[in-house]
Structure 1
Amino acid sequence: MTRLLHISASPRGDRSRSDKVARRLIAGLGAAEVETLDLAAATLPAFDGAAIEGRYDLIEGRAVDPAVIAAWEGIRATVAHFLSFDTHVFSVPMWNFGVPWRLKQYIDVLTQPGLAFTVSAEGVTGLAAGRRAVLVCSGALDIRPGQPGAELDFQTAYMRAWLGFIGVTDVHELQVRPTYGSPEEVEAAMERAYAEADALAGLLRG
């Protein structure tokens, strides 16, 4: 493990419980280089109608507006930046059973044919293969695997499905739940998550 990107999807700053557990994990991993991408503050490339239509014009060699060229340069740079890391740690709070919209925007920017994956007669090949990801998923409800309501966790399921699509199969997860309730319940959830983060760090260090 040499380069680690911490992708924070929470806008809560120091109050974010998923960030707290992610930072505990990262401290124990001992990566040579760590960078944090705060999605709440990041300026992401626009992936709007003009950029989508411009993609086909660019592929087919037609003239496009300079703004579209600039947008695609930004998209390519964002994908290249993501792929330059060998380990990705995601802080993912649950919003309405899924992921925060800024994380979804980031994923939509990244998931481009020819940049993050290719398609052939044999199927889809993810271009992020060989990398490792850790999902630190938090939520107000205790819907960890095996708990009542676990079927509502589209947050972890979506992240695992997307990572698999772009070729990341070495995926680990830490569940920080519940983050709402009595102080005793929340503190117990945090202590459990910290312990699991310490154990996972030891396992990944080898």
Structure 2
Amino acid sequence: MSRLLHVSASPRGERSRSDKVARRLIAALGAAEVETLDLAATALPAFDGAAIEGRYDLIEGRAVDPAVLAAWDGIRAAVAHFLSFDRIVFSVPMWNFGVPWRLKQYIDVLTQPGLAFTVDAAGVTGLAAGRQAILVCSGALDIRPGQPGAELDFQTAYMRAWLGFIGITDVHEVQVRPTYGSPAEVEAAMDRAYAEADRLAAALNG
């Protein structure tokens, strides 16, 4: 795999624990080309009421306001950019049991019929098939299987469901948690995540 996109969903910059683990993983993977999409610093296309209504006007061949045309040009460009990568690494902190709102906005921009998926009598076909995704998910709650907070996982489970919907079924994950506690507990969580990232990189490179 030659082109890797790192989608950073944390606005915390160098303090982001999910980003720290993701950067270590990406370095170990050794992709020929790596691009980072910092969602906190990226102007995403607006997917608002006007864009939604404009989609139906475009489909039905009606006149569309130039601003709506520009919005849809931006949406198409965002989807094409995402699909131009072979492997996507997401660093995702947990916010209120789910994902940060900027990541949700990015997902809403990407998940467009005819661009990221198609629907016919046979069902949904994801147009991102053949790509690989790696989820580096962090959080104060330990939602790993078998842990007390597992039933509150609307983060990793949501990301896996969305990726599957657009056709990405080769999905791996590294869990960075719990990130809240004593310094020793947080350090132990980071050490576990780094070790997990190293093992995953070795397996994928092998």
Shorter-chain TM-score category? over 0.9
Q: Specify the alignment match of 1:26 in structure 2.
A: 26
Q: Specify the alignment match of 1:123 in structure 2.
A: 123
Q: Specify the alignment match of 1:39 in structure 2.
A: 39
Give, in angstroms, the shift of residue 128 of structure 1: 0.2
| Partner-residue secondary structure (3-state), 1:180 | coil
| Partner-residue secondary structure (3-state), 2:172 | strand
**Does the alignment pair 1:204 with 2:204?**
yes
Distance, in Å, in 1 between the alignment partners of 2:63 and 2:84 is: 31
Q: Specify the alignment match of 1:164 in structure 2.
A: 164
Q: Specify the alignment match of 2:82 in structure 1.
A: 82
Unpaired stretches in structure 2, ≥5 consecutive residues: none
Q: Specify the alignment match of 1:144 in structure 2.
A: 144
Within 5 Å, give how 1:2-81 maps onto structure 2. Answer: 2-81=2-81
Q: Percent identity between the aligned chains? A: 89
Give, in angstroms, the shift of residue 143 of structure 1: 2.0
Distance, in Å, in 2 between the alignment partners of 1:126 and 1:110 is: 12
Give, in angstroms, the shift of residue 125 of structure 1: 0.1
For this pair of structures, how many residues does the alignment match?
206
Q: Specify the alignment match of 1:154 in structure 2.
A: 154
| Partner-residue secondary structure (3-state), 2:125 | strand
Give runs of ≥4 in structure 1 deviating > 4 Å.
none
| Partner-residue secondary structure (3-state), 2:160 | helix
**Does the alignment pair 1:194 with 2:194?**
yes
Root-mean-square deviation (CA), in Å? 0.4
Unpaired stretches in structure 1, ≥5 consecutive residues: none
| Partner-residue secondary structure (3-state), 1:134 | strand
Distance, in Å, in 1 between the alignment partners of 2:120 and 2:149 is: 38
